Structures are given as C-alpha cells and as structure tokens.
Amino acid sequence: MPSDADQMIEQRTSDTDRVWTALENVKDPEIPLISVVELGVIPEVRIEDGRVTVRMCPTFAGCPALDVMREDIRKAILAEGFGAVQVDVVFDPPWSTDRITPEGRRKLKEFGLAPPAKCNGSVTGDMLDQVVCPYCDSDRTTLESIFGPTLCRAIHYCNSCRQSFEQFKPV
C-alpha cells in the first residue's frame, strides 16, 4: 500500500507533467514550429493547492510576441482543468539562445532559420560570420545585416545556393 505522502507526491508529479505537456503545445507565434519549452523560456513550473505558477524568461525585452505567448500559456494550462494560473515574467535566469533545446534547434532549421551558435552569454563577430546555410548546408555564406525582420533574426546570403536566409541570432 502506498502511503498518503507517496500518493501526494505521485499526484503532484503527474500534475506537473500535465502542465509541461500543455506547454509543449504552446508555440512561438513568430515561429509556429517551435514550442515555448523548446525555446527555453520556461525555467520553472510550480503547483501549490491547485494553483499553477509558471516562470517565463522573455527572449528579447521588446519582443511583441511576449504578451501573446504569455496569454497562450495561461489558456493552455486552464484548458487542462487547473483552477488558477499565473505567468510571471522574470529576468533571472536571463534568457539566452543557449537555452534552446537540441530539438528546438532542429526545428529552427526546418523552419528555414540557421540556428544560433552557442555563445555562453558573449556574442562575437565570428558567430555571425560563420553561419551554415539552412537550405543547402554550405558554409560559403556572407553576413548581410545583424538586424533582420524581427528582433531575433540576422540576414545572411548563401554564395552556394544563392539565396538570402535568416539566422536566429545568438544572444
């Protein structure tokens, strides 16, 4: 017979799993292939007395997708039957592209964005110059602009397949 304490822990774990599963279905509105979990913006989920608190670390501080993501997260967890959901936007830990999961990086490429190099919190010019084309895998590419159509993208040109492409830029 499991003790009451064991049952409580089991219940709590399965609740937490349900929240994480719900979060895996919340996508970045600007890159709909990738979930907020794969993007690495959810450092923590807590459940106390049926109340869910999600900590969320924003990607770029001025990103307009932030409010949309926050609301989508709230709705997705409410839809799982939890009574109250709070999404706290936090700067600790500071989000970095190093937080994007391997699966997330694969999906960025599938979406047509070159994944960011690992930067350990400090971007160098090389990380922007040496980017592999997401379409043809050539490394004969040229940086065109460190700013792009959204805050998180830089623009490059591939000299092999002769197409412009975007990179999810390292931060």
Partner 1 sequence: MSQQTIEQLKPQVKTAIVDLLYRLADDHLILGHRNSEWTGLGPILEADIAFSSMAQDKMGHALAFYRLLQQLGEPDPDTNAFLRSGDQYRCCSLVCLERGDWAQSVVRHFLFDEATRIRFEALEQSRYEPLAQVARKLRGELKYHTMHGQMNLDKLGDATEESHQRMQDALDRLFPHAMGVFEPTEWDETLAAEGIQPREAELCKTWRSQVADMCAESGLTMPDDVGPIYGGRAGKHPEDLKKLLDDMQKVYRLDPDSEW
Contact residues for partner 1, defined by CB under 8 A:
57, 60-64, 90-92, 94-96, 119, 121-123, 125, 144-149, 151, 155, 169-171
Q: Specify the residue, 65 or 77, whose C-beta has the smaller distance to partner 1.
A: 65
Q: How far is the CB of 37 from partner 1 (least distance, A)?
A: 20
Q: Is 164 helix (H, G, I), strand (E, B) or coil?
A: strand
Q: Specify the residue, 94 or 112, whose C-beta has the smaller distance to partner 1.
A: 94
Q: How far is the CB of 127 from partner 1 (least distance, A)?
A: 11
Q: How far is the CB of 123 from partner 1 (least distance, A)?
A: 5
Rounded Cα distance, 22 and 171, in Å: 27
Q: How far is the CB of 12 from partner 1 (least distance, A)?
A: 28
Q: Specify the residue, 1 or 91, whose C-beta has the smaller distance to partner 1.
A: 91
